[in-house]
Amino acid sequence: VLATGARERPRSARLVPGTRPAGVLTTGQLQQAVHLHRQNVGRRAVIVGAERVSYSAVDTLRRAGAEVAAMVTDQPRHQTHPARHLGTRLRYGFPLVTDATVAELTGRGRLESVRLRHRDGRTAAVACDTVVFTGDWIPDHELARSAGIALDPGTRGPAADAEFRTGEPGVFAVGNLLHPVETADIAALDGRLAAGPVLRHLAGRPWTPGALPVRVEAPLLWVSPNRIAPDGPRPPRGRFTLRTTRFLTRPVLTVGQDGRTLHRGRLPRTVAPGRPFHLPADWIAGADAHGGPVRITVD
């Protein structure tokens, strides 16, 4: 069973221009430095990202005695629970800069400032000695790739069916390797749900995983599970989990295959990047096992 998890894309993978000073971290690196190695992480930090893990980065920085100069997101608003956002802002009082990206890092030796570029073209430099790149997840798929296991183009983790079976006989995958990322309880629950299929495999059940791909189109980012068998079991809890790259207000989702609509329905709420939303799985019996990929689109 592959359970190698996911990590945040570091600065290098985000192609952020500028010098290469010290003080540039992901949340994972920050938490290791503070909690594991008790290292000094600087005095004034900019946090890039405004999702759940970004607020964990705030807590870790404050615990290490650093001030938060600003939190910056390319989205029009934060992507965590409103109470979490409000509580953190009231407690620490830093600005949230929306619709902006990091244009450049400057500093020799140690980071000196981060230049932000707003969507309208304006730029501003924020003095800081630390920047934490949060979110923007990539599965730790190196082990799966080196074994030649087919990856899903959306999650970038192994393509897997409702019973956690990959395309490689005898290899299951669970956790945030499959859905980058969900909270720890969801990742742990995968392990429990995979136990039955693993035991059945060990008892000699033939290896016939769902082979029909389920794909998403932009602005959707990924769907999990992303392989189905129309006559096979539904995904855990009878639903698919999805992610979007931008806020969608009560979107209408259409599931189609070869020009045929299998399901169409409006979600009852706004969905946010970095947070899960779900699609009922009761349409899968209507898909054609021998047809083209099933596609999930937004009107």
Cβ(232)–Cβ(210) below 8 Å:
yes
Contact status: 147 vs ligand FAD (CB under 6 A): no
- Rule CB under 6 A: say whether 24 interacts with ligand FAD: no
Segment contacting ligand FAD by CB under 6 A, of 70-78, 175-183, 252-260, 266-274: 175-183
Dist. CA 67–CA 223, nearest whole Å: 37
Residue 141 binding ligand FAD, by CB under 6 A:
no
Please identify, using beta-carbon distances, which residue of 158 and 251 lies nearer to ligand FAD: 158
Strand ranges of the sheet holding 220-224, from the earlier edge strand across to the other edge? 220-224, 239-244, 277-280
* 152, 166 Cβ separation under 8 angstroms: no
CA–CA dist 109, 47 (Å, integer): 20
**Residue 35 in contact with ligand FAD, rule: CB under 6 A:** no
Decide: is 209 part of the binding site for ligand FAD (CB under 6 A): no
Contact letters for ligand FAD, residues 82-121 (x by CB under 6 A): ----------------------------------------
Q: Which residue, 74 or 190, has its beta carbon nearer to ligand FAD?
A: 190
CB of 103 to ligand FAD, least distance (A): 25
Angle of the 52-63 helix axis to the 82-92 helix axis, nearest 10: 30
Residue 143 binds ligand FAD, judged by CB under 6 A: yes
Contact (CB, 8 A) for 144 and 164: no
Q: In the complex with ligand FAD, which residue's Cβ is closer, 51 or 287?
A: 51
In sequence order, what are the residues at sequence separation of 6 or more whose Cβ sits closer than 8 angstroms to the Cβ of residue 277? 241, 242, 243, 244, 267, 269, 271
> Is the separation of the CB atoms in 26 and 134 below 8 Å?
yes
- Residue 176 engages ligand FAD in binding (rule: CB under 6 A): yes
Applying CB under 6 A, among 121, 142, 202, 299 the residue interacting with ligand FAD is 142
Token output for 144: 């799966």
Interacting residues with ligand FAD (CB under 6 A): 3-5, 7, 27-28, 31, 53, 56, 140, 142-143, 175-177, 181, 183-184, 187
